[in-house]
Structure 1
Amino acid sequence: MVITGGGSGIGRATAHAFADAGEAVLIVGRSAEALAETARGRDHIHVLPLDITTPGAAAAVVETALRELGRIDVLVNNAGIARYADLPSLEREAVEAQIATNLVAPVFLTQRALDALTDTKGVVVNLSSSGSVGLRTMPGNAVYCATKVALDALTRNWSVELASRGIRVVAVAPGVVDTGVALRAGMPEAEYDAFLKRISAQIPSGRVGTPEDIAWWIVTVTAAPSGYLNGALLPVDGALSLT
């Protein structure tokens, strides 16, 4: 199992879920300290501090996974960043950083892992967003949303392209999940707390999600009994995308 963005949030919860089921996992992320915290107390978790947008990163991830784990059964393209700004406020650096992390890196990491995934008849899980489903909008977060729409298109196309290799490709699309990503993107804590309270009232299920909610689905769609699930986009959002 390879999970990008394994130092926090959904990536950390997913690494824990796989490791607790006895699976060997390689987690990749920019912060060595955060990765070490994810791996603490779990011998099945291996760490690779690395910025996946840098040249040679995809090769380094695959080579490390094959050396440490011996195989790649599952690739979870989870790493993602957001930079909140409306159109008049957009800066090129922030736009390019989101595209590089959320879209370009998954393309080339998946490409590099193809032979290993073919050998295992593996599964690629792309982390999308339920905000990209249908006609929903994300004002002030349009570039992030655009990268997720593009990732959905890759998911559908790759599921057909790679089926002959025995590789499945699925997208899990979380709704609002309390991972702290908005705080890391610069949102003040008081504003973040107010947002979670406000959005909870709009979600039919009455609450925001937890990283563990999403991790359960990632583990489930990669399991053998889910073998007929391919090319699907699964919103996990308490029905928010249906409102």
Structure 2
Amino acid sequence: MSVNPPDRTFSGQVAIVTGAGSGIGRATAVAFAEAGAHVLGVGRRAEPLKETAAAHAGIDILAIDVCADGAPAEVVAAAVERWGRLDHLVNNAGATAVMPLAETDRKTITGLLALNVVAPSLLAHEALPHLRRSSGSIINLSSTYGHRPMAGGAHYSATKAAVEQLTRSWALELAGEGVRVNAVAPGPTRTDVMLHAGLTPEAADDMYAYERDRIPTHHIASPDEVAHWILRLADPAGRHATGQVITVDGGLELV
């Protein structure tokens, strides 16, 4: 798994990647490591994280629920204790939910907010003193549906809209301190997120087929294709870009 970075752009730097056990998170962790970074891959499940770590010697892992009390501080401390610095925080961990208004329940709403909005906010808070010292960056993961309506997924869309506003507001707040904040908003990407949302493999395949027909390029992205843009936004050579939301969806937001 690789996005084929052209050189060791991130040599000696340290990145935290949440949701690193699979999909975009795993691809991002591997891509950072291949580009020279020390990577702390974070996720709830130990076994998938071990598979991520096996992909590159530059990846260490921490199995933890980022929504748990004290978890954000523990995550940041683990990276800094291992490598003495922190340069990039990638807030990738997230969840989706297929939940029409008629079926809305409190538990699902609060769970989405906790993982998609609260946890990234607290991780960024804990990381900030270290990112100030390194003139580092925060990369948040949004979605095409953070700025495009999604029938049956309003609360998921709302959490991603919140992520985009956090990105812009933090970027404005921290620009004078040398900390950049950007976001990548993927469209449909071939990961296991739909299975975790409760869809059967058959239903997930049907959804991907439906989305492929709607996407102008008729292509469902791979995790590597999204990871490419995460690394480009983190690249120190792009230090003049902050507060940006880069949509990677084959043109779906245009239709």
Which TM-score tier does this pair reach, normalised by the shorter chain?
A: over 0.9
Residues in 2 aligned to 1:224 and 1:210: alpha-carbon distance in whole angstroms: 25
Residues in 2 aligned to 1:176 and 1:138: alpha-carbon distance in whole angstroms: 12
Read off the aligned partner of 1:198 and give its amino acid letter: Y
What is residue 89 of structure 1 aligned with on the other side?
103
**Alpha carbons 1:25, 1:69 under 8 Å: kept:** no
What is residue 40 of structure 1 aligned with on the other side?
54
Alignment of 1:230 onto 2:242 = yes
Q: After superposition, what is the alpha-carbon deviation per residue over 1:111-155, rounded to whole angstroms, capped at 9, x for unaligned? A: 11111000100010000001122xx21111111110000111110
Alignment of 1:17-96 (within 5 A): 17-96=31-110
Alignment of 1:120 onto 2:134 = yes
Structure 2: runs of 5 or more not aligned: 1-14
Read off the aligned partner of 2:62 and give its amino acid letter: L
Structure 1 residue 41 displacement after superposition: 4.0
What is residue 191 of structure 1 aligned with on the other side?
203
Residues in 2 aligned to 1:203 and 1:192: alpha-carbon distance in whole angstroms: 16
Read off the aligned partner of 2:134 and give its amino acid letter: T
Structure 1: runs of 5 or more not aligned: none
**Alpha carbons 2:76, 2:127 under 8 Å: kept:** yes
Q: After superposition, what is the alpha-carbon deviation per residue over 1:153-211, rounded to whole angstroms, capped at 9, x for unaligned? A: 11010001011210000011000101121111111111111111121111111111110
Structure 1 residue 55 displacement after superposition: 0.7
Read off the aligned partner of 2:39 and give its amino acid letter: V
What is residue 129 of structure 1 aligned with on the other side?
143
**Alpha carbons 1:46, 1:68 under 8 Å: kept:** no
**Alpha carbons 2:30, 2:55 under 8 Å: kept:** no
**Alpha carbons 2:212, 2:218 under 8 Å: kept:** yes
Residues in 2 aligned to 1:47 and 1:139: alpha-carbon distance in whole angstroms: 36
Structure 1 residue 64 displacement after superposition: 0.2
Residues in 2 aligned to 1:40 and 1:52: alpha-carbon distance in whole angstroms: 22
**Alpha carbons 1:5, 1:79 under 8 Å: kept:** yes
Q: CA RMSD in A?
A: 0.9
Identity of aligned residues (%): 43
Alignment of 1:100 onto 2:117 = no
Which residue, 25, 28, 33 being the options, matches 1:14? 28
Residues in 2 aligned to 1:77 and 1:199: alpha-carbon distance in whole angstroms: 25
What is residue 205 of structure 1 aligned with on the other side?
217
1:47 counterpart SS class = strand
1:164 counterpart SS class = helix
1:179 counterpart SS class = coil
After TM superposition, the runs of 4+ consecutive aligned structure 1 residues lying more than 3 A away are none
Give the TM-score normalised by structure 2: 0.93
Which residue, 144, 153, 157 being the options, matches 2:169? 157
Residues in 2 aligned to 1:64 and 1:10: alpha-carbon distance in whole angstroms: 22
Alignment of 1:218 onto 2:230 = yes
Give the TM-score normalised by structure 1: 0.97
Read off the aligned partner of 2:223 and give its amino acid letter: P
